[in-house]
Structure formats: C-alpha cells, structure tokens
Amino acid sequence: MVRHGSTGATPVSNLDESINQNCEITIRKQINNMLNKTNTTDKNVLCIISGVVELLLDQKEGIRTALDEITQSIQAKNERIDALESKIIQLQEEISSIKPVGDANIANADPPSSQSSDKSFDMFAQVQDRATRSENLMIFNIVENTSNDTNVRVNHDKTHVSDILSQLEAQQVGEYKVVRVGKSGDRPRPIKVIFSDAHAVSQCLRSKYKIRESNIKIKPDLTVMQRGHLKSLFEELDRRKNDDECPDKRFSWVSNGKVNHLYCKNESMQIGATQQTG
C-alpha cells in the first residue's frame, strides 16, 4: 500500500557525511577569499552574508534531527495503519462466514405468532393493573345510604371510612377518595378507598385486626387474575381439609388477623387459631 508522506529515508552513510563536511569547508573558504579581495563596502555586505551562511550551517544538524524524528513518526503511523488494515480484513472475513448462517436462521425462524403477542400484551396490562390497584383499599359491609342526593351518599361513606381509618390508627395517609363499586343489590356494595400511594394501603392492612366491628372487612384491591388465583388456593385448602386419606401434614393460613393451623394425622384433623398478626 502506498503511504502519502512516507519518505523511505535511510540513515546518512559515512561517505555522505564526509561529502557534506567538504562542502561546508569549501563554502567557508570561498567566502573568506571573497572577503580578502573586495573593498570595505563589499566586505560589510559579505560579512552579513557570511553570518547568515554560518547560521544556516550551524542549524543543519538540528534540521536533520527534526527530519529524522518526522520520518520515524510517519513510519510508526504506517505500521499502525497496516495493523488496522489486517484487523479490518479479518473482520470482513468473519462477517462473510457468519452472514450465510444468520440468513439461514432468519429464513427458518418462525414468525412471531399473534398468540405470543397477546400474552406479552396481557402480561404488561396485568403489571400495570396491579400497580394501579396497589394504591386502593377495599372496605366491605358498610351500610349504604339510599338517598337520591349524591353528596349525601358520598359524605355518608366518607364519614364511615374516616372512622375506620381512625380505628386502624393509620397515620399520614394523605388525601383519599371513596367510591362504591359494583351493582346495587340486597347487600351493600364495597367501598374503594383510593390513596395517593401504596404505603397507606399497607399500613391499613397491617392493622386491620384493630377494627371493632366484626362484620367490617378490609382487603387489598386485587386484579381479576389475583382473585382467581386466591379462589383456587381456598378451593385447594378445602379439598385438603376434606381429604379422608390426608397424611401426616400441617397447613397454615391467615384469616381475620389470626394464623390458623390444620393438623392432619392418622385420618384425624384438628383446627386451631394460635396467634394474631400485626
């Protein structure tokens, strides 16, 4: 490869050095001869010229050293360029060898199915739904006001919710909204309390055993998938409790702030509540 700016210079030989020295001596002799043969005015001019020539000759070595350094720098850069060219060629060869395999894999790959896309969308929607509901608290069995005035009904619910939060000793829960959810019927609809963050919900759930009214229940706002999973767990618990061939096992679950244990041993069962949870 041709390098622009490369001199291809080699160290000066002894012969070249000797010739250069002879040239310098000859130049100085010729200047001295001219000074001896000329008049005073010409001698002044020649002295100036002689001084310039002497200065140039003295700086010759410095110029030569600088040129040698430049030559070495160019050679080093050329070597680095050669190394880079080798790497580029190697990478091009590797890409050429990999490309057919990649093209074959892409051609044989199954296109993304609509079912896979639907699952990804459902998963994202589930995560987003959980994050939203984590800031909500559900309160059940609070008597519903039947007034035709919306403000009267809302104030009635807010009063009861405020009383329950006081029983729970929920501190610094911030602003919240209350709304009835579901269709009206024989039983009062649950109240959804919407807080500004999930910390308030956690604080209330940890203290739910402090509620004085035994019929009032508070629960987290679960997604449809979470409610289905919880229902299946209770169904499994009922199945195990009613299993006549239950081996020696112990099952535990939490209900109304108490830890309940189910002991299965030799086809006999014993159920008891042993402690309260905070």
Among 29-33, 85-89, 135-139, 261-265, the range of highest mean pLDDT: 135-139
Do the Cβ atoms of 168 and 204 come closer than 8 Å? yes
The pLDDT tens digits of the residues spanning 3-20 come to: 444 444 444 445 455 556
How far apart are the C-alpha atoms of 105 and 98, rounded to whole Å?
Answer: 11
Each residue's pLDDT tens digit, 34-88: 666 655 556 566 666 766 677 666 677 777 788 888 888 898 888 889 888 888 9
Residue pair 194/176 in contact by the 8 Å Cβ criterion: yes
pLDDT tens-digit readout, 77-132 = 888 898 888 889 888 888 888 877 777 777 776 665 666 667 777 788 888 888 88
Question: Which of 143-152, 177-186, 208-217, 236-245 comes out lowest in average pLDDT?
Answer: 236-245
Q: What is the DSSP letter of 149?
A: -
Do 215 and 244 form a contact (C-beta atoms < 8 A)? no
Q: Does domain 131-221 have CATH number 3.30.70.1820?
A: yes
Q: How far apart are CA 191 and CA 181, in angstroms?
A: 6
pLDDT at 31: 66
pLDDT band at residue 259 under the 50/70/90 scheme? low
Structure tokens at 67: 């040129």
| pLDDT above 60: residue 276 | no
> At a CB cut-off of 8 Å and minimum separation 6, what does 173 contact?
165, 195, 200, 203, 204
Asked whether the predicted pLDDT for residue 244 surpasses 80, the reply is no
Calpha distance 9→4 (Å, rounded): 14
Which helix H or strand E contains 262, and what residues bound it?
Answer: strand 258-265
The reported pTM is 0.47
